[in-house]
Structure 1
Amino acid sequence: MNQTNTNSNMESNTISPLVKRILIIAGIVIVLAIPIAILISSTPKSNNKKTEKSNTDSLNNLLASLEKAANVNPNAANILALSAAYINAKMPGKAIQPLKKLIKKEPNNANAYNNLGVANIMLKNYTLGIDACKKAISLDTSFQLAKNNLKWGLDEKQKTINIINTLLTTSPDKQDQAFYIQLGLLYMQVGEYNKSIAIWSDGLKKYPSASSIFYNNIGTAQVFNKEYDKAIENFNKALATDPNNQLAKNNIAWAQQEMDDK
């Protein structure tokens, strides 16, 4: 969702538990999601490695069970349960594709849009998350959880805009490589993809030694901007300068998947 997922797809935090904000779903999903919330958010930290391993094993087993159920029978209840589990396990990126496929089949599923909104906001793809929450509310005007998530997304987006405005006061002599990478990332997080591309293109000219990073990031913004062919071209440029850039390889597959799904 990049050298920045928006940070996982990009080259360049932690997200606090979102149990109170996250999801909801039909009764069957609530039953499945609550144990995850307890496991991830309520279990006290322990120095006991055996306890930590046991918790990890329990989570992995639960995820495997939900993944199997969703693969065998990809109905709304199973996909929503799986997406809730991924989100509670702080793996929102894994929730995106199953939810998008569900929405393709059930375009009026407000719960799917709500969960998609939460996952995108966690990934700092604020505009995408806000749009998904708005869609959930349009489908169910009494959906209070989606309204809460919308406010959360809008608040996070505004915080990012404030950081952008502060960065823009940076004097030219202090606009180093990190400045260009960060500013482009922040623009992408608030949905200003063309500005991200422009900033990273400027960074590429100024810091050609970091061309692999900038090409990968430009490509990431282009995927979000639905410029898939251009994105793949830039990912390949990143690989030309750094053949071991696994992130660029992953992003090519991502861009191709987005093209196939459009």
Structure 2
Amino acid sequence: MTENTSNLQPEEKELKPAVKKLLIIAGVVIVLSIPLVILFSSAPKNKNNIAVEKKDTDIAALEQLANSNPTSANVIALSVAYINNNMPGKAVKPLTDLIKKDPKNATAYNNLGVANILLKNYQTGIEACTKAIQIDTSFQLAKNNLKWGLDEKNKALNSIEAMQAITLEKRDAGYFVQLGLLYLQVGNYEKSMATWQVGIDKFPENKAVYYNNIGTAMVLKKDYDKAIEMFNKALAADPSNQLVKNNINWAQQEKKDNAPQ
């Protein structure tokens, strides 16, 4: 997935046999950079629902402004531009940093929730929207976004149920990639990792993809050392995989950013 190295997450690439390498996208990730004075309603693609004037959509200029003067307004304006330009992953880190400085900023939580839902990190998005509503109980757009996130999570849960009904002989390498990603999307990191471990056992030729995805789940769990270990295993299996290299940088940065002060 890679808009930057701070929100990379699972792979989306050709597997052997004909399997997609799926990337969600951490980032974070999971992971997590995986948020408008108020962002989208439950129909997020309708830009008429954005409650801020977009006078300046020059992302480079907004980035420079937010870096030189990281006020709440400047960071939120930057997040609007990222999301409107289909780069929700880049909105995560500045919004997360803003929340650390301004933990009562309901708008930042709302926008972070939207960014994560767009990244298919549904549980993370739901939690951020819920926090926005706790801060501002009259925040209707956050309520709409919460409903949107819950709806998307339910779709993923339904997909998990459908995949579990697939017979054993039809469960190829792609099956385990997809199922693990669905578990990741709904916030069940333990099941996502267990699913990818089964994939490694059954399809060791694709272990680079599975190890990369396990590493992503570890970052989202904030187990950074273990995540780096998994990414290094992925890199050992596929030394030319740039996404894995980026994810190592992502995990190292997350570890640094979340170190005790």
Residue type at the aligned position of 1:6: I
Which residue number in structure 1 is paired with residue 230 of structure 2? 234
* Aligned-residue offset at 1:222: 1.0
Q: How many residues align?
A: 226
CA-to-aligned-CA distance 1:77-113 (integer Å, 9 cap, x gap): 0000000110111100000000000001000000000
Quick check: which has more Rg, 1 or 2?
A: 1
After superposition, the CA RMSD in angstroms is 1.9
Which residue number in structure 2 is paired with residue 51 of structure 1? none
Relative to its length, the structure with more helix (as a share) is: 1
The aligned runs of 1:65-84 (5 Å cut-off) are 65-84=61-80
Residue type at the aligned position of 2:136: D
Alpha-carbon distance change, 134 to 20 in structure 1, aligned in 2, over 3 angstroms = farther
* Aligned-residue offset at 1:133: 0.2
* Aligned-residue offset at 1:17: 2.3
* Aligned-residue offset at 1:31: 2.1
Correspondence for 1:147 among 121, 139, 143: 143
Length-normalised TM-score, structure 2: 0.82
Residue type at the aligned position of 1:94: K
Residue type at the aligned position of 2:186: V
* Aligned-residue offset at 1:8: 7.3
* Aligned-residue offset at 1:21: 5.2
Provide structure 1 residue ranges, at least 5 long, that are not aligned to the other structure.
Answer: 25-29, 37-58
Which residue number in structure 2 is paired with residue 203 of structure 1? 199
Question: In structure 2, what is the Cα distance between the partners aligned to 1:5 and 1:132?
Answer: 22
Alpha-carbon distance change, 249 to 141 in structure 1, aligned in 2, over 3 angstroms = same
Q: Percent identity?
A: 57
Question: In structure 1, what is the Cα distance between the partners aligned to 2:122 and 2:48?
Answer: 19
Which residue number in structure 1 is paired with residue 53 of structure 2? 31
Question: In structure 2, what is the Cα distance between the partners aligned to 1:20 and 1:155?
Answer: 21
Provide structure 2 residue ranges, at least 5 long, that are not aligned to the other structure.
Answer: 1-8, 12-21, 30-42
Alpha-carbon distance change, 116 to 16 in structure 1, aligned in 2, over 3 angstroms = closer
Which residue number in structure 2 is paired with residue 128 of structure 1? 124
Is structure 2 residue 211 aligned with structure 1 residue 193? no
* Aligned-residue offset at 1:6: 2.2
Is structure 2 residue 212 aligned with structure 1 residue 216? yes
